[in-house]
Amino acid sequence: METMSHQMMGYDRTITMFSPDGRLLQVEYAKKTVRQGSTAIGVACKEGVVLVTDKRIIDGLVVPESVEKIFKVDEHIAATASGIVSDARILIERAQLVAQQHRVTYDTPIDVLSIVKDICNVKQAFTQSGGVRPFGVSILIAGVDKNGPKLFETDPTGIYFQYKATAVGEGEAEVEEVLKKEYKEDMTLEQAMNMAVKALMKFIGKEELNENRLDIAYIKAKDKVFTKLNKEEIKKIIAKFKK
């Protein structure tokens, strides 16, 4: 048993080496980092896409407005993340640049899947190169393009999946339980937003959830414009569930 333990320690010290049972242990550790991150939720419906995320501010002296958890990639694409937020910022800033270059080159907005694939290509490259570590972050990418509303989840391995609704982070299990039970494809943006906040409240608790702790944004299928809710709008949504 002790011999096996020493072997496993050797295999998890480099990203490029498979363990005897075919695992990349550093990548698995990166996934565990994501599960410890603050919860992020995405919902796609006929009217557009919604992102709701927990800022998880634990220091009362932090200015809530300075904590950004939902990022605008382009007018029609947004992203949020769970895990190491600084890792997410680097990937999302790259995505913003790719989206801008596409607009300048082709004079058209980039499709959501192209952004997803570019982020995943970078993530995958960091699972097979010596001297680096995997990105310890899962990113939810939401947007509306010519094919309609889209929601994707990317994980540290560089793989991606398209979802109708999904969650990443520490509250993933509790949140997805609500999403699976209440999600309907014909729901409105408002209903999708309410469902996501309700799901997050189930994990965080009514007393802990307030307008300073949440970030909420949406993109309507009709105008394809990224819109972020202000504190008063978030407060009204939360109030519905605190009565």
Pick the CATH number of 35-241 from 3.60.20.10, 3.40.1170.60, 3.40.50.300, 1.10.3720.10: 3.60.20.10
Average pLDDT over residues 187-207: 93
What's the token pair of residue 153? 């989840």
CA 62, CA 81: separation in Å to the nearest integer? 20
Q: Is the pLDDT of residue 200 over 70?
A: yes
65-120: pLDDT as tens digits:
888 899 999 999 999 999 999 999 999 999 999 999 999 999 999 999 999 999 99
Which of 55, 58, 67, 54 shows the shortest CA–CA distance to 202? 54
In this prediction, residue 35 carries a pLDDT of 93
In this prediction, residue 155 carries a pLDDT of 95
Query: Domain coordinates of the chain in residue numbers?
Result: 35-241
Q: Is the pLDDT of residue 240 over 70?
A: yes
* DSSP state at residue 109: P
Q: Which residue has the higher pLDDT, 14 or 235?
A: 235
* DSSP state at residue 100: H
